[in-house]
Structure formats: structure tokens, C-alpha cells
Structure 1
Amino acid sequence: MACGGFACSKNCLCALNLLYTLVSLLLIGIAAWGIGFGLISSFRVVGVVIAVGVFLFFIALVGLIGAVKHHQVLLFFYMIILLLVFIVQFSVSCACLALNEEQQSELLEVGWSNTNSARTDIERNLNCCGFRVFYPNETCAADCLRTLHCRPCAPIMEEYSGMVLRFVGGIGLFFSFTEILGVWLTYRYRNQKDPRANPSAFI
């Protein structure tokens, strides 16, 4: 059957939602792995990642059930939610890719000032103390504190922030286009009649 047919639309939509399911499980798994190996101690960060993973899992589940059963109501809500997610994700991805070095530095400083537990993780993993200035009498989780020769964390974070933002922005942009593809597939699939159904039945 041609790809414009009912079966092809259904299979493409199911495949797309299986991909979203795998991504959601991967997000939840990475958060659990970070806690298990002690890389992340901030429950706020882990909670956000797990919440995004669970949200994506439920969206994918709604889309999968709607695609398999050709359920008009589920497909409608799936299409609306996916469109809203696309708008938010596309905007955030473009913002990540558009930030210059000065804006990245300001963003890092705001994040540093507002998260104590994430600050401890950064100091321990990057082996640095303080943001722009290292004070030997302040508490720090890094091993370098024993030798009192610690680098500030800001220069180290700024080395990687541009690369991380480009990576996150690129991945987000890629998935935002898969979401608009999902919206288009869902719209087309909703308006197709199942060839196995009663011809006189309402679409």
C-alpha cells in the first residue's frame, strides 16, 4: 500500500510514539544512573528530568493507544499537546543556539547562585571551588581543597557551556521537527477511514 494510505499512517505514528517512549525511558534511566553513581545529588534536577521523562512517556502512550485503536478523541488531544510541546521546545532550542558568550556567563551565574546542591555536584565533578574567586576558608566539595590550589568554576564551566548549549539546542531542534511531523501525521490519520471498518460508519 502507498505511504499515503491508512496502514502506512498508522505504522508511522506507532513508530514515532515508540521512539518517544524509548527517549522517555532513557531520560528516566539517565536520572536514576546519575543518582546511583553519585554524579547528581540535587533532587530538584533529578526530579525535573524524571518529570520530563514521565510526561513524554504518557504523551507517547496516549499517541500509541490512539494510533492503534484509531481513537478520535485521544488522537485529537495528542495532536494538541504535541503542538504545544513543539512550540515550547522549538523556542527553547532556538534560545539555546542564539545565546552569546556574555549571556551564557550571566545564565551560569544565576544558576550558580540559586542551586546549592547542584553547586556541590559541579565543584566535586569539575574539581573547582567558588564561581569566579576561590576563598580557602569557604566550604567546598572538591578534592583540590586539600592542597588549597583550586581553580574557580566559572572558567571551566564557560569552556563547556557553549558546546553543551549547541548540543542541547541541536537535539531539541531535531526532536521539535519530529513533533511537528507527529502533528501532521495525526491530523492526516484522524481524517482517514479504516478500510476494514463499516463503509457507512462515521469517520
Structure 2
Amino acid sequence: MVCGGFACSKNCLCALNLLYTLVSLLLIGIAAWGIGFGLISSFRVVGVAIAVGIFLFFIALVGLIGAVKHHQVLLFFYMIILLLVFIVQFSVSCACLALNKEQQSQLLEVGWNNTKSARTDLERNLNCCGFRFFDLNETCSSDCFRSHQCQPCAPIIEEYSGMVLRFVGGIGLFFSFTEILGVWLTYRYRNQKDPRANPSAFL
């Protein structure tokens, strides 16, 4: 049976927004766990992850309230915001999947040079020093620095960067299609008549 009724559209939209709520709470929780266990000391990285989680949580909350109350204004703004998020996320996901090794290496080097706190975390967690070469005159927070037998971090990071980019791109691409599904559900749900409402009332 095709899901075309008012109640079915409402339930599907509510379920989709509950999924977004769980993902947003998971994102905030992972960021807090990373800084709590000392895996991440960069407040910029944690701040971005938490900001994205909070933004996603509020979008899901607006969609959930709009779906439950069949609120036309909330559903309209939810649909527009979700469409914009879809465009950005789809573009970023395609870019992640399309990057070659040379472009990945250039982006990693730019990120390495611009984030000192994240650099410290990588050196400590990967047990390496420097990006392309190890300079004895510089300080390093890894354990290998005491014995002066450290490897540069670039080969280790580049080994995993392709896998991480494919994973992030794939997850982003999957969720971008759920977002366009949400836009379509919202558009259809807005134009459906609530069977419990006054038949002579406007949509």
C-alpha cells in the first residue's frame, strides 16, 4: 500500500526528525567525549562539531513541532533550511569523494600549518613529529621526541586521509538524500488536509 495519507506523512516526517535529533545528540556527545578523554584539545574543532550538532538539533526540533502541529509557517521554513543544507552537504560530500591524493596532501598541509592545537593532538596520538620532516630544534608532544627517533606525520596522516574522506563523503551523501526526502515529505504534508480539522477551513 502506498503511503499517501495524512497520518502516514506525519509519522514519516516525525520519524525523520527524530533520526536527525539522535544524530545531532551523537555529534555533540562524541565532541564532548573527545575533549573529556583528552583526545582533542582544540576548542575550535570541538566548537565546530558542537555548533553543527546544535544547528541540526534545532532544525530537527522545528521540523518535529511543525509536523506534530501541522504548522504551515514552521514547515515552510523547515523545508527551505533543509533544502539549503542539502545543497551544501551534497556539494561537500561530492568534493570529498572527488579529491585525489595530491589535493588531499595540499589540504592536509594547509590544515597542519593553520591549527597549532590540532597539530599537537595529532603528534601525541600518532606518535610523530613535524609534517614533512622532523626538526630537532622544535618542540613536540609525542613520546618519541625524547629518543629523537620520530617519523614525520605526513605519511601516517595521508595513509588514513583517503579512507576518512571516503567515509565522510559517503555518510554525507547518504544523509543528503534523507534531507531531500525530508523536503519532499514536508512539501507534500503541507498541502494535505488534516482530516480532523474543519472541512471549510483553509489549508
TM range (shorter): over 0.9
User: Helix, strand or coil: the match of 1:87?
Assistant: helix
Q: For each residue in 1:113-155, what CA deviation from the matched residue of structure 2 results, as whole angstroms up to 9, or x when unmatched?
A: 0000000000000000000000122110100001110000000
Q: Is the 8 A contact 1:127 1:150 kept in 2?
A: yes
Distance (whole Å) between structure 2 residues aligned to residue 93 and residue 3 of structure 1: 30
Q: Give the CA deviation at 1:104.
A: 0.2
Q: Is the 8 A contact 1:94 1:173 kept in 2?
A: yes
Distance (whole Å) between structure 1 residues aligned to residue 133 and residue 166 of structure 2: 27
Match of 1:115 in 2: 115
Q: Give the CA deviation at 1:2.
A: 5.0
TM-score by length of 1: 0.99
Distance (whole Å) between structure 2 residues aligned to residue 132 and residue 192 of structure 1: 60
Distance (whole Å) between structure 1 residues aligned to residue 135 and residue 61 of structure 2: 51
Distance (whole Å) between structure 1 residues aligned to residue 90 and residue 141 of structure 2: 36
Q: For each residue in 1:16-59, what CA deviation from the matched residue of structure 2 results, as whole angstroms up to 9, or x when unmatched?
A: 00000000000000000001100000000000000000000000
Distance (whole Å) between structure 2 residues aligned to residue 2 and residue 137 of structure 1: 69
Kindly indicate whether residue 80 of structure 2 is the aligned counterpart of residue 80 of structure 1.
Answer: yes
Distance (whole Å) between structure 1 residues aligned to residue 39 and residue 113 of structure 2: 20
Q: Give the CA deviation at 1:3.
A: 1.1
Q: For each residue in 1:49-96, what CA deviation from the matched residue of structure 2 results, as whole angstroms up to 9, or x when unmatched?
A: 000000000000000000000000000000000000000000000000
Runs of 4+, deviation exceeding 4 Å? none
Consecutive unaligned residues in structure 1, runs of 5 or more: none
Q: 1:117-136 to 2 correspondence within 5 Å? A: 117-136=117-136
Distance (whole Å) between structure 2 residues aligned to residue 2 and residue 85 of structure 1: 28
- Count of matched residue pairs: 203
Consecutive unaligned residues in structure 2, runs of 5 or more: none
Distance (whole Å) between structure 2 residues aligned to residue 165 and residue 156 of structure 1: 15
Distance (whole Å) between structure 2 residues aligned to residue 120 and residue 194 of structure 1: 57
Q: For each residue in 1:142-185, what CA deviation from the matched residue of structure 2 results, as whole angstroms up to 9, or x when unmatched?
A: 00001110000000000000000000000000000000000000
Range with greater deviation from structure 2 (2-11 or 88-97) = 2-11
TM-score by length of 2: 0.99
Q: Is the 8 A contact 1:18 1:60 kept in 2?
A: yes
Distance (whole Å) between structure 1 residues aligned to residue 32 and residue 112 of structure 2: 23
Q: Is the 8 A contact 1:132 1:152 kept in 2?
A: yes
Distance (whole Å) between structure 2 residues aligned to residue 74 and residue 162 of structure 1: 40
Distance (whole Å) between structure 1 residues aligned to residue 126 and residue 2 of structure 2: 54
